[in-house]
Structure 1
Amino acid sequence: MVNHIIFVLSLLAFTCALAFASDPSPVQDFCIADPASSGRVNGFACLDPKLAQADHFFLSGLDKAGNTSNPLSSSVTPVTVAQIPGLNILGITLARLDYAPWGLIPLHFHPRATEVLTVLEGSLYVGFVTSNPNNQFISKVLQKGDVFVFPVGLIHFQQNVGQGKAISISALSSQNPGIITVANAVFGSKPSIADDILSKAFQVDKSLIDYLQAKFYLIRIQ
């Protein structure tokens, strides 16, 4: 009987661990990030809560457009613990995304967060790809006021398909969602992945791999 109870409790603990496999819930009101501290936890060390001020939970300027004068014709303005120290341990971040006509947020994924995107202006073509073995491509054209969800860990993109600029806001379910841009990770890694490995993986000639690696190296050092 005792062994049975232990087994059930162990199973419940394992199930709960799976169910909450994301940013942990806070066990205090807040933990203002203290970047000056040498201590590190799963996030930043906490400033003394008695020193809390409104500015620790505040950011202005998100109404200002980002600079889209770049090869992708897009810009990301993050709202993370680096901009708002009071976000530390709260399990959420934001980002403003600006797109010039045909501007692109390229294929990428967030290893630790689901993303909820809301279009504020313009028209966006968005999509994501499901995991193996199906690799189903799910996409949609969004208009102002539309909302779209990118599940955690899945490759996705956004592109402006309107005639004018586009703006969107994304909320992400982690204080540190991470971002891995597929092309940069594959062709711009440091040090580079051997071209024979990439050539075999993509079933293309090594000369094409060398060209892409050189191109992304130039992008990386600019």
Structure 2
Amino acid sequence: MSAIVGLAIHTCGPALGLALCDVKGEICHQSWPLGRDLSTQLHSILMEFIAPHRWQDVAFLAVAMGPGGFTGTRVGVVTARTLAQQLEIPLFGVSSLAAIAQRALADQTPGAADIAVEMQAQRGQLYTAIYRPTPNGLAVVQSEQVRSPEDWEAALNAHPHPLARAAAGDDLAATVVQVLELAQGGWARGDRPDWSTVLPYYGQHPVDR
């Protein structure tokens, strides 16, 4: 039996990340440091990346929906929504922070601790969230919030369960693999989310003061 072909897109950082699960069940991934060229190059890179598969072969899409850079996040989510609508396939929206937590799972004993994730935001703030590993994937203990570093440390000190900490690095696009993994888990559980349910999460408005 052939594997389900899934495609994940991550544009929340300065680089583009793509991951594909092919018919053999193998995951390939790549990143491109596009910066401001993201919007002009994304579609052509997508076409090259999925080859030799056709768009009709793709069973589901997944996209990192933020938090992250405002323009990149918007471009990625809009592109994924458009493709899923045109192809009439499910679209999984995955938090950038959840993808970081999923990657951190590889470095700890399953179920040993909740995972506290942080990512640098604007104006000295942090994007934060806490997740709990379960047999059915990551459960949200504290959803994405923008906090000051002091508030975040206070929240961690007050957390009633053991914590493992994970922080976003410079290789944010590489966590597109975990975006795909989390979507694959949802697909296996029978989730078939409609494209219209996936919206970008910015956390902060770029002109807030």
Give the alignment's TM-score, normalised by structure 2: 0.25
Give the alignment's TM-score, normalised by structure 1: 0.24
User: RCO (CA 8 Å, sep 6+): is it higher in 1 or 2?
Assistant: 2
Query: Which structure is higher in helix share?
Result: 2
Larger Rg: 1
